[in-house]
Amino acid sequence: MAGFYMIKYSIESGWLTPLVRLWLTVVFGGLLCGAGFVIGVKSSMAANQRIGQALAGAGIACLYFAAYAAVHMHGYVSLGLGFVAMVLVTVLAVLLSLKNGAPIAMMGLVGGFLTPWLMSTGPNDTVMLFGYLFLLFCGAQFLCVCRGWWALLLGSLAGVYLWSAAVIVGNVCGHLDQLAGVLIFVVGVCGVNAVWVLLAKKDTVLDASALPWLTVIRWLTWGGGLVQGLVLVLIGGFAAVDMALFSVLSVGALLLAVLREDDFIWAAWLALGAVAAGTLASIDSAMLSCLIAPLGLLSLFFVLGHWRGLVSGRVLTWRALSVTAALSAVPLLYANQEWVVGGVAVFHRSAWLWL
């Protein structure tokens, strides 16, 4: 109590100015992080490990608050420097988590995902935003896979998709005027997952408790990526670049189902559904968008599905995929031309007979 009243008196008397209090917070946070790290290194007892986590967590919280206060409460540094400071605190939290465990990594990731919002500069620079988020996600992916922190990996995946969903909603509502880099970011997130899956050894034995987490992570990665990719293509009016990126995403899901059939056979059906939805909803009357691209993708699903039906043990699943792709092509194209595009003669009626 005496210490509390002493600090209160010092602030009221002007001895502890805002700048002094800010530096004291930084020093105190650094000392707490150092103490937590030392305890984590020196002790192997579970109780002491929890003490180290608590000290390191409190230190990270102090440093985050100091960076925030320096920008928004006192205006001592610019938004750019504040952003860099919070990124450095996030890096420090990740490094401490190697010794102090997942709770510290969780604090670092939460702070990392909140940094763009807390240090927002106002302009709609989505390229810089999603470049930062992609690097943060790659770091989280590497850390969580190495340590087996699957719940934390799921949280980081949810964080990046929440950011992309927020930007998409902001654009639809008129608050953001650009979506540059968002679709590339979504493709990148799915690509990181695909690389991790393909590099992992097939005979790797995982703990039984990890399997439900991995299933949810895979479904969220590709389900969220395909849905957001389709929405971005619709918003962009089926521009050529957007359609190319969406095609890469769909074909990537199909190839992953071929290469890792036991774990990703469902991804082929998910991708086929996304392609079918895009084919039906296309509003572009250009030949490439309304006929060549969807017919080419559906043909690819048909050919690969037929081939896998000949060589795979999942004959019925792959044959069903192949037949579905083949038989849905003309009805989807016809419905799109008659009910969505409407009245625009993209190609002659006799072309339906040839199809």
| Total domain count, the chain | 2
Does the CA dihedral 278-279-283-284 come out positive or negative? positive
C-alpha 104/C-alpha 333 separation (Å) is 52
Choose the final residue of a domain: 117, 143, 172.
117
pLDDT tens, residue by residue, 267-323: 999 999 999 999 998 887 777 777 888 999 999 999 999 999 999 989 999 999 999
Q: How confident is the model at residue 9 (pLDDT cuts 50, 70, 90)?
A: very low
Does a structural domain hold residue 218?
no
- Residue-level pLDDT at 5: 43
Give one DSSP letter per residue of 295-340, joined into a string.
HHHHHHHHHHHHHHHHHSS-HHHHHHHHHHHHHHHHHHHHHIIIII
Does a structural domain hold residue 267?
yes
- Residue-level pLDDT at 8: 52
pLDDT tens, residue by residue, 21-46: 788 888 888 888 888 888 877 766 65
Q: How confident is the model at residue 1 (pLDDT cuts 50, 70, 90)?
A: very low
pLDDT tens, residue by residue, 41-62: 776 665 567 777 778 888 888 8
CA distances from 244 to 167, 229, 251, 254 (A): 21, 11, 10, 15
Average pLDDT over residues 110-138: 79
Q: How confident is the model at residue 10 (pLDDT cuts 50, 70, 90)?
A: low
Instruction: Compute the mean pLDDT over every residue in the chain, rounded to the nearest whole number.
Output: 83
Q: How confident is the model at residue 225 (pLDDT cuts 50, 70, 90)?
A: very high
| Percentage of residues of the chain with pLDDT beyond 70 | 86
C-alpha 140/C-alpha 4 separation (Å) is 39
- Residue-level pLDDT at 296: 92
Q: How confident is the model at residue 169 (pLDDT cuts 50, 70, 90)?
A: very high
Does a structural domain hold residue 274?
yes
Choose from 121-130, 174-183, 198-207 the range with maximum mean pLDDT: 174-183
Average pLDDT over residues 242-268: 94
- Residue-level pLDDT at 3: 44
Give one DSSP letter per residue of 5-38, joined into a string.
HHHHHHHHTTSS-HHHHHHHHHHHHHHHHHHHHH
Choose the final residue of a domain: 117, 147, 180.
117
HSE-up of residue 280 (Cα within 13 Å, Cβ side): 10
Does a structural domain hold residue 6?
no
Does a structural domain hold residue 264?
yes
Average pLDDT over residues 175-185: 85
Does a structural domain hold residue 275?
yes
pLDDT of 2 > 50? The answer is: no
Choose the final residue of a domain: 117, 136, 170.
117
Domain hosting 254: range is: 237-355
Does a structural domain hold residue 230?
no
